[in-house]
Amino acid sequence: MSAMSSSSATKATTTEATLSARDGGYLRQAIDWSRTARERGNRPFGAVIVSAAGDLLAEAYCNTTETADCTGHAETNAVRLASPHVSREVLATSTLYSSGEPCVMCAGAIFWANIGRVVFGIDAVSLRTFRGELAVQRDAELSCRDVFAASPHPIECVGPALLAESRAPHVGFWQV
Ligand SMILES: [Zn+2]
C-alpha cells in the first residue's frame, strides 16, 4: 500500500507513489490511451477501469476535440462505458486508472459510479506547467482528493505515479 494512498492533503506533491506490477501495468494501459488521444487530435488523456477480479470493464480516451463535447474526458468517458453495464457493487471494488489526475468533473463521475479506487499518473499541479495560462486550458484548482474526501463512501486515491511515462505524451502538445 502506498504512503500516498490515504492522503487528502490539498498541497501539491510530486512524490511518486510506488505501484504494484498489476497497478503499473494497467496505468501504462491508460497512458497508452493518452497517446491514442493525442494521435487523434485530442488532449492526451486515457483511462481504464478494472474489476477486482481483473476484468477490463472500460477503456477510453479524451475525445473532446473529435466530438466537440467539452465533457468528453477520458475518465468520464470510461465511467459512461462501464456504468450502464456494471453493478455498483462490482464498481465499488474496481479501480479506475487514469493517465492524469482526475479533474473535478471526472472525480464527481467516479463518485457517482461508486468506483472505490483511483490510480493516476501525472498530477494536476505538474499538468498546469503544460497547460499554461490560456483560459480554455486552465483547470479548476480543486484536487480530486478533496472531492473524494467529501464522499460518504471511501475512495482510495493513489498517485502521482509513473510520472516520466505519464508526462511524456504532454510534451509539445499544449499551446502556451
Ligand atoms: Zn476530467
Proportion of the chain above pLDDT 90, given as a percent: 79
CA distance 8 to 144: 9
* Band (45; pLDDT cuts 50, 70, 90): very high
Expressed in angstroms and rounded, the spacing between residue 70 Cα and the centre of ligand 1 is 9
Q: How far apart are CA 134 and CA 31, in angstroms?
A: 24
Sign, Cα dihedral of 151, 155, 158, 160? negative
Which pLDDT value is given to residue 7?
43
Does the pLDDT value for residue 10 go beyond 70?
no
Q: Is 17 within 8 Å of 161 (Cβ atoms)?
A: yes
**pLDDT in the model for residue 136:** 81
Give pLDDT tens digits for 71-92.
999 999 999 999 999 999 999 9
Mean pLDDT of 35-57: 98
Report whether pLDDT(55) > 60: yes
Q: What is the pLDDT of residue 9?
A: 45
Ligand 1 geometric centre to CA of 96 (Å): 13
Q: How far is the CA of 123 from the centre of ligand 1 (A)?
A: 12
Cell digits of residue 61: 480516451
Structure pTM? 0.90
Cα of 62 from ligand 1 centre, angstroms: 9
Rounded to the nearest 5 degrees, what angle is found at the Cα of 80, between the Cα atoms of 87 and 35?
125
Cα(44) to ligand 1 centroid in Å equals 12
Report the 3 state secondary structure along the chain. CCCCCCCCCCCCCCCCCCCCHHHHHHHHHHHHHHHHHHHCCCCCCEEEEECCCCCEEEEEECCHHHHCCCCCCHHHHHHHHHCCCCCHHHHHCCEEEEEECCCHHHHHHHHHHCCCEEEEEECHHHHHHHHCCCCCCCCCCCCHHHHHHCCCCCCEEECCCCHHHHHHHHCCCCCC
Catalytic amino acids? 75
- What is the per-residue pLDDT across 118-171, written as a single tens digit (0 to 9) for each? 999 999 999 988 887 788 878 888 999 999 999 999 999 999 999 999 999 999
pLDDT reported for residue 8: 44
**Is pLDDT at 11 greater than 90 in this prediction?**
no
Q: Give the mean model confidence (pLDDT) for residues 24-37.
A: 98
